[in-house]
Structure formats: C-alpha cells, structure tokens
Chain A
Amino acid sequence: MIIRKKRVSILTIINITILISLALLCVLPFANMLAMSFSSKEAIDEGIITFFPLGLNVDAYKYILSKDAFWQSLKISLIRVAFGVPLNVIIAIITAYPLAKESKKFKTRTIYVWILFFTLLFSGGIIPWYFLLHKLNMLNNMSALILPGAVPVFSIIILINFFRRIPKELEEAAIMDGANHWQILFKIYVPLSVASIATITLFSLVWHWNSWFDGMLLMHDPSKYPLQTYLQQILIETDTSLNQYKGNPEFSFLGNKSARAAGVIISIIPIVIAFPFVQRHFKKGLVLGSVKE
C-alpha cells in the first residue's frame, strides 16, 4: 500500500467547518439561555445579551429555587421515573422473551404480538382515554402518570429483535440442564442484552422525564404536576394557581426572561450531565435492535 502524504483537501475543510458549525448551532441557544440566566433584567430588556452575561447575578436561580412548586414538581418527576422506568424495562424484558420465540415453539406468539402491535396502528383518541382514567379513579393520582404508558411496545419490538439474535444453542443447553424459562431469561438472555436494555432504559427515562401533556391533562392539583408540566405552565402558559405555594411573589416569570432562562438551564442539567456517558451504549443498542441485517 502506497503511503502518501495527504494534503488536507478543500472538501475536508468545508466538511469539518460545516460539521463544527452544526454542532455549535446545537449548543449556542443553550449558551444564550445560560447567559441570560445570569444577567440582569435591564440588560436583557435592552436585547444586548448574546453569549455572555451582563450585570452578573444569580437572582433568577435564587428565585426559582425558592419556589416550593418547583421542588415539588421535581419530586413528582423523580418518583415517576423511579417507578415508571423499572416498570417499563421489566415489562419489556418479560414480554419480549416469549415473543422472541418461534411460532412453532410458542403457538400464540403471533396473536400476542399483533395485540401489542395494533396499539401502534390505531387508537381511540384522548377523550375516551381520559374518561377511562377517571372511571378508574386514576385522575389526580400518580398512577395515571405511570400505568397507562407501562407497556413500551416499541421497546419490546427492539428487544424481540435482539433476543432473536441470541444463539439458540444457549437456550437448548440450559433446557437440558433443567432450567425453566425464568432462569433462561434472567441468567442468559438479559446479561447478553445489556446494550439493548440500556437503550430501552434510556428511551423510557427520556420519555418519563420529558412528559408534560399527561401531567397537564390528568393532574388537577398543581402539587402533582411533574417537572415539565410545571415548566410548561411557568414558561409558556401561566397557571396562577401555582402561586398557592409560599414563595416570593415579587415578580412574575412571564415578564422575567432571566428566570425563564434559569428554568431552562436547571431542567436540562440532568440530561446534559448524563448524556455523554449514556450515548455510547445507546448508539450500539439502537442500531442492533431495530434493523435486521
């Protein structure tokens, strides 16, 4: 093989420039928010903040962190994630395993798969769903945030595809050793599927953390709003009942861009911190799971 000293071609330079610009484009709006969150109201009103704070202060953060409603909604979101994510993952695992079996080994498999898959194709809409939740007395109750979404059909499908790739010999050997299905699932399949499981865990985490609509529709008490619903009310709509909490009602969020920016920054911190670590597993898992070679 000829080793040539390569000139860096024009194309490469353009390539790198564009890519770096795109990457920056994804980051700059957050940088703008970061700057606004540390700036004074006057500077913001003048419209001169770009990426550096002016009139440096932490009032906006003090304001938000002093709001009981904020902490309450954070708590709700954490509870939701603590219960909802494991539920999603466990259900995905135990449901994907049987459905990964071939039809001759497990006859009703196809029916079950279609029962689940059909829910992706057709739905009755929000109103019947809403009425059902009321009849079940789930409105204004944490269960309304966790149970309806408990079955992650798309994740199940990803796992099914992944489980199918696991060599059947492993299962056959285990059966000969007298193992039952539970043992096969948790002692063989699960350890081999860490990448996929990490992926669907991430999906579930992101979904639960970012959900705002169900909180808005199903929770009557502002004290039961998850974080994103609280943020939606504060940043975009105004739910004045949030003021029922003792806080410092000096200035309102709407007119206070600094507070809004601080709200944005605070709520994306968990994602920004967790993300670089998680994305490695996630890249692998997503690809392997959804595309059959």
Chain B
Amino acid sequence: MHKSIRRKNLALHLMVLPAIILVFIFNYIPLFGIVIAFQDFVPAKGLFGDQEWVGLENFRFLFELPQTKQVIINTIVIALAKAIVGLIIPIIVALMLNSLRKQGLRSGIQTLIYLPHFISWVIISSILIDILSPSTGIINQFLMQIGIEPVYFLGEPKYFRMTLVVSDLWKEFGYGSILYYAAMQGINPELYEASDIDGANKLRKIWHITLPGIRMIIVLLGLLSLGNILNAGFDQVFNLYNIQVLETGDILDTYIYQLAFGTNLNYSLATAASLLKSIISFVLISMAYYLSYKYADYRMF
C-alpha cells in the first residue's frame, strides 16, 4: 500500500517541480545578491570581483541623505491615503450597486467601472498628463469656465499626492467593489425580510445587516492593504512624476530605481534601500496575514 502511494505521489512531485525550479532560479537565487547592500560595489570590478565589505555603512549613508526620510514619509502617507480611500469608496459603491433593482443597469454600470483597472498605468498616465495640463487640459478648461485659476496638478507638490490618490481611486474603485458586492450577495435574504417587518428603512438595513454581513471581507482587505503600506504604486508614480514634485511624490520604489539606474548608478545604496523595504514589508505583510487568520478566519491555503 505504501509503495503504490509513494509511486503515485511521484507524479505529484513532478507536477510541482517546474514551479519550484523556476521559483528557485528567479526568486531565491537573487536573494544571494542582497550581499551587495553590505559592500561598496564598484561596477568595474564585476559581480564576483573583489568588492569591499563595508558592513552597515550604506545604511548609515542612506539615512544621512535628506531625501531618504522624505521618501519614506511620502510612501507611507500616499499608501495610507490610498488604503483608506480604497477601502471606503468601493464599499459605498458596492452598497449602491446592491440597492439597484434593475439587473441590466447594474451590469452595464459594473462593466464600465471595472474597465480602468485593466488599462495599464502607462496609458492612464498619458491620459492624465493631457487632461490635467494647466494650459490645454479639459479639467482646467472646466475650472476656468467656473472662474477658477488653472491648477498645475502634476507639477505642484501640494497637489501631487492628491492627484495620485484620486487618480488611483478612479482606476481601482470599480474593481475594488467587486469583492464587496459579491460578498453582499452571500448575505441571507431572510435577514432583510425580517427587518422589513420591523419597519427598517434602507439606511438602517445597510448599517445593521449589510455591513456586518461583509465584516470579514472588510477586515481582510483592510489588513492586506495595510500590509502593503510600503508599495505606494511604482507604475503610477514613475509615469506621472517629475523633478518639481519629488518633494511630496517620490516614493521608495522610485527612489530605489533612481539610486540604481538614475544619475547615481549606486547599486550598493539601491540594494540597501531595497533590503530595508523588503524586511519591513515582510514584517507588515506577515502580520497582516496572521491577523486576518486570527480575526477574519482567513486561510490563504
């Protein structure tokens, strides 16, 4: 009996093998490269050359640079804003969709609001650059019609973060509402009927039935987005930012990219910053999964 199980299980091992090998090569081997963060990496010496070990020097210098603190602040502020807004709005939208009677109208609206999620940030950034232009964009044309001076959304630090958050919301709110909407379908209709008898109006039903009914999903998604707090959106920021808004818009990922491939070409620093980010993210995401396991009874696998 044992032998045949093992032989049968050989097939299972073989099935998993390709994934394991690929993941080993492309995800685990690069982990060795982390050592660059502890070296004074001189490209000319080559990867396996005689690089000088400098311990935590790179990390120290990283925090001496004035930009580093600013970048971390930007990342957290932007990610937090996106997380909060990205939690509340889709729930509201899902509630609204849920209240719609007409299936056709709902389907149609859903199709339209899901769409931006599937378009790349390259495209959307190009659109935003055009429509937000202070001189020719339609948003500012509209503002001027109602007597407001044109606003340079993508060029002034004080507006940039808001622009990031709002445009990200625009892109993702529809897709974000799917899960909440689907979860709402799972709520027992008898609960609503019972509340009808008690004479509850729509808002009360939402507050006492719908929201508690999707409590688990809210907690889950909330925790997961907190775990992601250091990812403020590289694709978006990279394509929308410029030197004028670095102050408020430069995030960890774009900062690391600049350190590695920008004017500094300093792989040591970039890897050090990247390592720092990975470690903190690891702690946060692990916590998030653990907490959702405990409180939202969520099991990944």
Residues of A within 8 A of B (CB): 11-12, 15-16, 18-20, 22-27, 29-30, 32-33, 36, 44-50, 91, 94-95, 97-99, 101, 106, 108, 112-113, 115-117, 119-129, 131-132, 135-136, 147-148, 150-151, 153, 156-157, 160-161, 180-182, 185, 206, 209-210, 212-213, 217, 228, 231-232, 235-236, 257, 260-261, 263-264, 267-268, 271-272, 275-276, 279, 283, 286-287, 290-293
Contact of A291 among B99, B111, B217 (CB under 8 A): B217
Across the A-B interface, give the 9 residue pairs with the lowest CB-CB distance, nearest first. A128-B33, A125-B274, A210-B120, A98-B12, A47-B136, A128-B30, A235-B126, A23-B112, A287-B182
Residues of B3-45 whose CB lies within 8 A of A: 8-9, 11-13, 15-16, 18-20, 22-23, 25-34, 36
Q: What are 7 A-B contacts with C-beta separation under 8 Å?
A: A95-B18, A126-B256, A157-B301, A210-B118, A286-B179, A291-B179, A292-B298
The one of B22, B31, B120, B136 in contact with A124, judged by C-beta atoms closer than 8 angstroms, is B31
**Which chain A residue lies CB-closest to B279?**
A122
| B residues near A283, Cβ cutoff 8 Å | 178, 182
What CA separation (Å) do A181 and B112 show in the bound complex?
A: 42
Contact, CB under 8 Å: A98 / B47: no
Task: Report the bound CA distance from A15 to B97 in whole Å.
Answer: 8
B70 within 8 A of A: no
Q: How far is the CA of A245 from the CA of B137 in the complex (A)?
A: 31
Contact of A228 among B23, B120, B138, B282 (CB under 8 A): B120
Decide: A261 near B278, CB < 8 A? Known: A117-B301, A276-B111: no
Q: Once the chains bind, are A119 and B23 in contact (CB under 8 Å)? A: yes
Given A11-B202, A23-B112, A32-B131, A99-B33 contact (CB < 8 Å): no
Partner of B26 from A108, A148, A291 at Cβ < 8 Å: A148
Smallest distance from the beta carbon of B68 to chain A beta carbons, Å? 16
Q: Given A94-B15, A106-B12, list of 11 further CB < 8 A pairs?
A: A15-B100, A27-B115, A112-B20, A117-B301, A125-B270, A126-B270, A127-B270, A210-B121, A213-B235, A287-B178, A291-B179
B73 sits at the interface (CB 8 A):
no
Q: Does B294 contact A (CB under 8 A)?
A: no
B277 proximity list for chain A (CB < 8 A): 125
Contacts of B173 in A (CB 8 A): 22
Is the Cβ of A29 less than 8 Å from the Cβ of B109?
A: no
Contact yes or no, B257 A271, CB < 8 A = no
B194 beta carbon closer than 8 Å to chain A: no
**By the criterion CB–CB under 8 Å, are B116 and A26 in contact?**
yes
Closest A residue to B9 using CB positions? A106
B257–A126 CB distance below 8 A:
yes
Please list the residues of chain B having a beta carbon within 8 angstroms of any beta carbon in chain A.
8-9, 11-13, 15-16, 18-20, 22-23, 25-34, 36, 47, 93, 96-97, 99-101, 105, 108-116, 118-123, 125-127, 129-131, 135-138, 141, 170, 173-174, 178-179, 182-183, 186, 202, 217, 220, 234-235, 238-239, 256-257, 260-261, 267, 270-271, 274-275, 277-279, 281-282, 285-286, 298-301
Q: Are B109 and A22 in contact (CB under 8 A)?
A: yes
List the B residue with the shortest CB-CB distance to A261.
B130
* B301–A99 CB distance below 8 A: yes
Q: Main SS of the interface on chain A? A: helix
Minimal Cβ-Cβ distance residue in B for A9: B202
CB distance from B260 to the nearest CB of A (A): 5
Min Cβ gap B214→A in Å is 10
Is there contact, CB below 8 Å, between A12 and B126? no
Q: Which residues of A contact B122 (CB under 8 A)?
A: 210, 212, 228, 231-232, 235-236
Which chain B residues border A47 with CB–CB below 8 Å?
Answer: 135-137, 141
Beyond A15-B96, A132-B33, whether A115 also contacts B23 by CB under 8 A is yes
Q: Which residues of B contact A147 (CB under 8 A)?
A: 22, 26
| CB-based contact A260/B130 at 8 Å | yes
Q: Which residues of chain B have C-beta atoms less than 8 A from A209's C-beta? A: 120
Contact between B270 and A275, CB atoms less than 8 A apart:
no
B15 → chain A, closest Cβ, in Å?
A: 4
B8, B108, B113: which contacts A181 (Cβ < 8 A)? B8
Which residues does chain B contribute within 8 Å of A235, judged by CB atoms? 122-123, 125-126
Q: Is the CB of B22 within 8 A of A150?
A: yes
CA distance A257 to B235 in the complex (A): 22
In the docked arrangement, what's the CA distance between A232 and B238, Å?
Answer: 11
CB contact between A180 and one of B8, B220, B235 (< 8 Å): that residue: B8
**Minimal beta-carbon separation of A241 from chain B (angstroms):** 17
Write the nearest CB–CB distance from B133 to chain A, whole angstroms.
8
Evaluate contact between B278 and A125: CB separation under 8 angstroms.
yes
Query: Quick check: B271 and A121 within 8 Å, CB to CB?
Result: no
Q: Min CB distance, B47 to chain A, in Å?
A: 6
User: Across the interface, do B170 and A271 meet the contact criterion of CB distance under 8 Å?
Assistant: no
Taking a contact as CB atoms under 8 Å apart, the answer to whether B99 and A264 are in contact is no
Contacts A119-B23, A260-B130, A261-B130; is A279 near B100 (CB within 8 Å)? no
Contact A125 B112 (CB under 8 A): no
Query: What B residues does A125 contact at CB under 8 A?
Result: 30, 33-34, 256, 270-271, 274-275, 277-278
Q: How far is the CB of A204 from chain B (nearest CB, A)?
A: 13
A117 to B19, CA, bound (A): 12
Bound-complex Cα distance A264 to B122 (A): 9
B178-A286 in contact (CB<8A):
yes
Pair B270/A29 contact, Cβ less than 8 Å:
no
**A47 CA / B33 CA spacing, docked (Å):** 51
In the complex, the chain B residue whose C-beta lies closest to that of A44 is B136
Write the nearest CB–CB distance from B1 to chain A, whole angstroms.
13
